[in-house]
Amino acid sequence: MAELATQKHVQFILSVEKKEDCLESLAMEHLRMNWAHWGLTTLDLLGKLHTVDADEVVSWASSGFGGNIGHDPHILYTLSAVQVLALFDNIEVLDVDRVANYVAMLQNKDGSFNGNMWGEKAVNYIVSCKNHDDGFGCTSGGESHATQRISDRPYDAVDVYHTYFGVAGLSLLE
């Protein structure tokens, strides 16, 4: 089995943050907190978390819990921000009471949570992404992927392309 190209993964993750002016970054800037969590967690798993400036990351992550600076707060970005701070053992920078009150304010009587203070129900959104095949798309009505057979769509014939990706995913379980 081939070795993991750790340095190439590290270089890619570090390069993504530097591409602030490209179309992809501008279109997806509202997801920056999530991207930070995913990228930093990957670096941590690779034993390369030290390749980023911890003080800079902690300062940015603790500046607010929207998807990025200037974006509205949201429960998902709050989770990602707390996880980023935990990666750097800097939970103490949080105003725990303020975060707890914010999350509690978002909880509904039925136990579900609004995504933000304006009433977007995270649970309703997730349920709206469920498809007839019991898989979930990325958006409401979006196609399910990797949650059922190794074909493009449920009830379609199996194909080499999707079989390759399905088997590649299974190989990660070793």
Instruction: Locate 149 and state its tokens.
Output: 């057979």
pLDDT computed for residue 38 by the predictor:
92
Residue with more model confidence, 85 or 129 = 85
Residue 167 has pLDDT above 50, yes or no: yes
Only one residue has tokens 């469920």, namely 130
Long-range contact pairs involving 3-11 (C-beta distance under 8 Å, separation at least 24): 6/46, 6/48, 9/42, 9/46, 10/43, 10/46, 10/48, 10/51
Tell me the three state secondary structure of residue 67.
coil
Average pLDDT rounded to a whole number, residues 73-86: 91
Percent of the chain having pLDDT more than 90? Answer: 26
Q: Which of 52-56, 85-89, 94-98, 136-140 has the lowest mean pLDDT?
A: 136-140
Provide the whole-model pTM.
Answer: 0.63
pLDDT computed for residue 163 by the predictor:
67
- With beta carbons less than 8 A apart as the criterion, state whether 67 and 34 touch: yes
pLDDT computed for residue 150 by the predictor:
59
Q: How confident is the model at residue 44 (pLDDT cuts 50, 70, 90)?
A: very high
- List the helix and strand counts (H, then E) for the chain: 8, 0
Contacts of 153 by beta carbon, 8 Å cutoff, 6+ apart: 143
